[in-house]
Chain A
Amino acid sequence: MTDTESPRTPLPVIELDDVRKTYRTGALEVEALRGVNLRIHEGEYIAIMGPSGSGKSTLMHILGCLDVPTAGNYHLAGEDVGRMSEEDLAQIRNRRIGFVFQQFNLLPTLSAWRNVELPLCYAGVGRAERRTRAISALEKVGLRDRIAHRPNELSGGQQQRVAVARALVTDPALILADEPTGNLDSVSTQDVLGLFGELHASGRTIVLITHEPEVAAAAGRVVRIRDGNVQDDTGSDPRTSTDPRTSTDPRAGGASTTLTWEAHQ
Chain B
Amino acid sequence: MSWAETLRIGLEAVRTHRSRSALTVLGILIGIAAVILTVGLGEGAQGQVRDQINSLGSNLLVVSPGSTTSSSGIRGGFGSASTLTSQDADALASRDVAPDIAAVAPASQRNLSLTAGTSNWTTTVVGTTPDWLSVRARKIDSGRFITGQDVTGHAAVVVLAATTAEQLFGARSPIGATVTISGVPMQVVGTLTAVGSSATANEDDQAILPISTAANRVFGGATRTSVQSIYLEASSSKTLSAAYQEANSELLALHHITTPTGADFTIASQQSILSAATSVDRTLTVLLGGIAAISLLVGGIGVMNIMLVSVTERIREIGLRKALGAPPRVIRRQFLVEASVLGLAGGLAGAALGLVGAAALPHLISQRIDISLTAAAAAIVVAVGIGVGFGVYPASRAARLAPIDALRSE
Binding site for B on A (CB under 8 A): 61, 64, 66-67, 86-87, 90-91, 93-95, 99, 101, 103, 105, 107, 109, 118-119, 121-124, 166, 170
Among candidates B2, B324, B402, residue contacting A99 with C-beta atoms closer than 8 Å: B324
Q: Are A94 and B324 in contact (CB under 8 A)?
A: yes
Q: Are B327 and A90 in contact (CB under 8 A)?
A: yes
Among candidates B5, B320, B326, B328, residue contacting A105 with C-beta atoms closer than 8 Å: B320
B72 interface hit (Cβ, 8 Å): no
B74 interface hit (Cβ, 8 Å): no
| B328 contact set on A, CB distance < 8 A | 86-87, 90
Q: Are A86 and B2 in contact (CB under 8 A)?
A: no
A-B contact pairs, 17 of them (CB 8 A): A66-B402, A67-B402, A86-B327, A87-B327, A90-B327, A94-B325, A95-B325, A99-B324, A105-B316, A107-B317, A118-B321, A118-B324, A119-B325, A122-B325, A122-B330, A124-B2, A166-B324
Query: Which residues of chain B from 1 to 46 have a CB within 8 Å of any chain A CB?
Result: 1-2, 5, 12, 16
Given A66-B404, A66-B407, A67-B404, check contact A107 B325 (CB 8 Å): no
| A66 contact set on B, CB distance < 8 A | 322-323, 402-404, 407
When C-beta atoms are compared, the residue in chain B nearest to A87 turns out to be B327
Interface of B is mostly: helix
Among candidates A105, A121, A170, residue contacting B407 with C-beta atoms closer than 8 Å: A105
CA of A64 to CA of B402, assembled, Å: 13
CA of A170 to CA of B323, assembled, Å: 13
A106 to chain B, nearest CB (A): 8
| B326 contact set on A, CB distance < 8 A | 90, 94, 122
| A87 contact set on B, CB distance < 8 A | 327-329
| B407 contact set on A, CB distance < 8 A | 66, 101, 105
Among candidates B2, B16, B320, B403, residue contacting A109 with C-beta atoms closer than 8 Å: B16
The size of the chain B interface, using a CB distance under 8 A, is: 22
A-B CB pair tally, cutoff 8 Å: 61
Binding site for A on B (CB under 8 A): 1-2, 5, 12, 16, 316-317, 320-330, 402-404, 407
Among candidates B1, B325, B403, residue contacting A91 with C-beta atoms closer than 8 Å: B325
Among candidates B320, B322, B325, residue contacting A123 with C-beta atoms closer than 8 Å: B325
| B402 contact set on A, CB distance < 8 A | 66-67
CA of A207 to CA of B329, assembled, Å: 29
| A61 contact set on B, CB distance < 8 A | 404
When C-beta atoms are compared, the residue in chain A nearest to B314 turns out to be A107
When C-beta atoms are compared, the residue in chain B nearest to A91 turns out to be B325
| B325 contact set on A, CB distance < 8 A | 90-91, 93-95, 119, 122-123, 170
Going nearest first, the 7 A-B pairs with the smallest beta carbon separation are A94-B325, A90-B327, A122-B325, A119-B324, A105-B320, A66-B404, A87-B327
Q: Are B316 and A124 in contact (CB under 8 A)?
A: no
Q: Are A64 and B327 in contact (CB under 8 A)?
A: no
| A105 contact set on B, CB distance < 8 A | 316, 320, 323, 407
CA of A86 to CA of B407, assembled, Å: 16
| A90 contact set on B, CB distance < 8 A | 322, 325-328
Q: Are A64 and B12 in contact (CB under 8 A)?
A: no
Among candidates A93, A107, A109, residue contacting B323 with C-beta atoms closer than 8 Å: A93
Chain A CB within 10 Å, residue with most, of B320, B322, B329, B402:
B320
| A118 contact set on B, CB distance < 8 A | 321, 324
When C-beta atoms are compared, the residue in chain B nearest to A104 turns out to be B320
| B321 contact set on A, CB distance < 8 A | 118, 122
CA of A61 to CA of B321, assembled, Å: 15
A165 to chain B, nearest CB (A): 13
B378 to chain A, nearest CB (A): 35
When C-beta atoms are compared, the residue in chain A nearest to B12 turns out to be A109
When C-beta atoms are compared, the residue in chain B nearest to A124 turns out to be B1
CA of A124 to CA of B404, assembled, Å: 24
Q: Are A99 and B323 in contact (CB under 8 A)?
A: yes
A119 to chain B, nearest CB (A): 5
| B1 contact set on A, CB distance < 8 A | 121-122, 124
| B329 contact set on A, CB distance < 8 A | 87
CA of A121 to CA of B9, assembled, Å: 11
Chain B CB within 10 Å, residue with most, of A86, A99, A109, A121:
A121
| A91 contact set on B, CB distance < 8 A | 325, 327
When C-beta atoms are compared, the residue in chain B nearest to A98 turns out to be B324
B82 to chain A, nearest CB (A): 85
Q: Are B320 and A93 in contact (CB under 8 A)?
A: no
CA of A247 to CA of B5, assembled, Å: 44
CA of A91 to CA of B329, assembled, Å: 12
Among candidates B2, B12, B324, B330, residue contacting A93 with C-beta atoms closer than 8 Å: B324
| B12 contact set on A, CB distance < 8 A | 109
When C-beta atoms are compared, the residue in chain B nearest to A118 turns out to be B324
Chain B CB within 10 Å, residue with most, of A61, A124, A166:
A61
CA of A105 to CA of B314, assembled, Å: 12
A52 to chain B, nearest CB (A): 13
CA of A166 to CA of B321, assembled, Å: 12
| A67 contact set on B, CB distance < 8 A | 402, 404
| A122 contact set on B, CB distance < 8 A | 1, 321, 324-327, 330
When C-beta atoms are compared, the residue in chain A nearest to B13 turns out to be A109
CA of A67 to CA of B406, assembled, Å: 12
When C-beta atoms are compared, the residue in chain A nearest to B324 turns out to be A119
CA of A87 to CA of B407, assembled, Å: 18
CA of A101 to CA of B321, assembled, Å: 13
CA of A66 to CA of B403, assembled, Å: 6
CA of A246 to CA of B317, assembled, Å: 42
When C-beta atoms are compared, the residue in chain A nearest to B403 turns out to be A66
Q: Are B323 and A121 in contact (CB under 8 A)?
A: no
Q: A91-B327, A94-B324 are in contact. List 7 more A-B contacts (CB 8 A).
A: A66-B322, A90-B322, A93-B324, A99-B324, A122-B1, A123-B325, A166-B324
B331 to chain A, nearest CB (A): 9
| A170 contact set on B, CB distance < 8 A | 325
